[in-house]
Chains A and B, each alone.
Chain A
């Protein structure tokens, strides 16, 4: 028996992880100690916030920059076109002070790039977009972060948008990503359709996916993955564009809204290969402005 593949029964690996734990040492702290440390942190943060607020206000007045303050007390700048790129208030507070996010190599502000990319994706008009909680959304919304492949600190940014699509034939899922060039030395894992053009720089689970590739007129290598027929009726189609400048864009659809454990939401593909290819090859869906 082997370790599970992505969609296999996860209990086998869980059993392996349980073996790693073995006998636990007694816990070395108490809830009271944590509370005391937490109280100190709150006091320190309040003191720091008071100083910080004065500094931000002084800066705003001094240079005439409009500063918005969201309901968490964080200051945000309006993005391009007057649309705030700040995330909606989460149901939970931020887990930690946000790590500085490196802008794309062009120097473009990532929040602004996210808005630009959202406008670049054109979808058929007969589809209704909802967020992953099933709520009607205002369209595709890109989040972003560093794609910390292999923990490489030089990793590029990745923009990604996930949305539920409802249209003729049922519900499905769409993900669109745009990624910066991979760092030098990025490990060549997988073997893409025996495709020497991409030097094996794409993961391909050839047991589960068929894979074809071609070169688009602009020089981008276009790779199409299709999930092979399976008893669960899962459908997945991924189109990936490897652009000459090293950046990537992908568009994928499946008939599951969240996870492979769910019941398929439709029995046919929602977007054709041609439609997905048009999305990833659209010059507007570019990592660079």
Chain B
């Protein structure tokens, strides 16, 4: 890769890595895994960088790799993603902000991975149904039904007794 392209790639990573890691974190719920996923995606991006002629396609490509790496990892191993019925003791929050965060992370973990991916893509990445379907390689109808189920799962997870803190109860239920 030429120096100019290297510079472009560096600029992209510097500007976008944090944002991409946040997306990965919402998918997997673990900052270390999120970082691994993003690194994997960026390494693949580098290998393909010279073939991407449309700058606006870079985000779409990277996003797609992140989701695929996440889903592939899920298929290979179930050990990391057993839904937690209750928050671990260590996660007992000290403030409403931390409590909110842990509640939502735990609730997201209970949403099946592919539905979670749909929710993150549609509501975090603001992707339209069409783009989400293209990225996941499924029909738009499937995206819609997965969205509906994902929201239902998330709603149910948040509604469990003793899980939703007062600060979120009014907003989400």
Which residues of chain A have C-beta atoms less than 8 A from B108's C-beta?
20
Establish whether residues A2 and B138, one from each chain, have CB atoms under 8 Å apart when the complex forms: no
Establish whether residues A20 and B26, one from each chain, have CB atoms under 8 Å apart when the complex forms: yes
List A residues at the B interface (Cβ < 8 Å): 1-6, 10, 12-14, 16-17, 19-22, 24-25, 27-29, 31-32, 34-35, 37-39, 41-42, 45, 91-93, 95-96, 99, 132, 143, 145, 147-151, 153, 158, 160, 162, 175, 177, 189, 203, 205, 238, 250, 252, 258-261
CB < 8 Å A-B pair total: 185
Which residues of chain B have C-beta atoms less than 8 A from A2's C-beta?
155, 172-173
Interface residue total, chain B, C-beta cutoff 8 A = 79
Establish whether residues B46 and A95, one from each chain, have CB atoms under 8 Å apart when the complex forms: no
Say yes or no: is B87 at the interface (Cβ < 8 Å to chain A).
no
List B residues at the A interface (Cβ < 8 Å): 1, 6, 9-10, 13-14, 17-18, 21-22, 25-26, 31-32, 35, 39, 42-49, 51-54, 57, 60-61, 64-65, 68-69, 71-72, 74-75, 97-98, 100-101, 104-105, 108, 112-114, 119-120, 122-124, 126, 128-130, 133, 137-142, 144-145, 147-149, 151-152, 154-155, 168, 170-173
Known: A6-B148, A20-B108, A147-B142. A1 touches B43 (CB 8 A): no
Q: Closest approach, in angstroms, between the C-beta of B77 and any C-beta of chain A?
A: 12
Which residues of chain A have C-beta atoms less than 8 A from B126's C-beta?
10, 14
Most buried by A among B51, B126, B130, B147: B130
Which residues of chain B have C-beta atoms less than 8 A from A45's C-beta?
47
Which residues of chain A have C-beta atoms less than 8 A from B168's C-beta?
16, 19
Establish whether residues A96 and B123, one from each chain, have CB atoms under 8 Å apart when the complex forms: no
Q: Closest approach, in angstroms, between the C-beta of A36 and any C-beta of chain B?
A: 9
Establish whether residues B14 and A203, one from each chain, have CB atoms under 8 Å apart when the complex forms: no
Known: A21-B101, A92-B61, A95-B44. A31 touches B10 (CB 8 A): yes
Q: Closest approach, in angstroms, between the C-beta of B14 and any C-beta of chain A?
A: 6
Known: A38-B46, A203-B148. A3 touches B140 (CB 8 A): no
Establish whether residues B148 and A205, one from each chain, have CB atoms under 8 Å apart when the complex forms: yes
Establish whether residues A95 and B64, one from each chain, have CB atoms under 8 Å apart when the complex forms: yes
Q: Closest approach, in angstroms, between the C-beta of B30 and any C-beta of chain A?
A: 11
Q: In the complex the two chains form, what is the Cα distance from A3 to B108 in whole Å? A: 13
Q: Closest approach, in angstroms, between the C-beta of B47 and any C-beta of chain A?
A: 5
Q: In the complex the two chains form, what is the Cα distance from A221 to B102 in whole Å? A: 44
Contact partner, B128, options A25, A147, A153, A258, Cβ 8 Å: A258
Q: Closest approach, in angstroms, between the C-beta of A229 and any C-beta of chain B?
A: 19
Q: Closest approach, in angstroms, between the C-beta of A236 and any C-beta of chain B?
A: 10
Establish whether residues B101 and A22, one from each chain, have CB atoms under 8 Å apart when the complex forms: yes
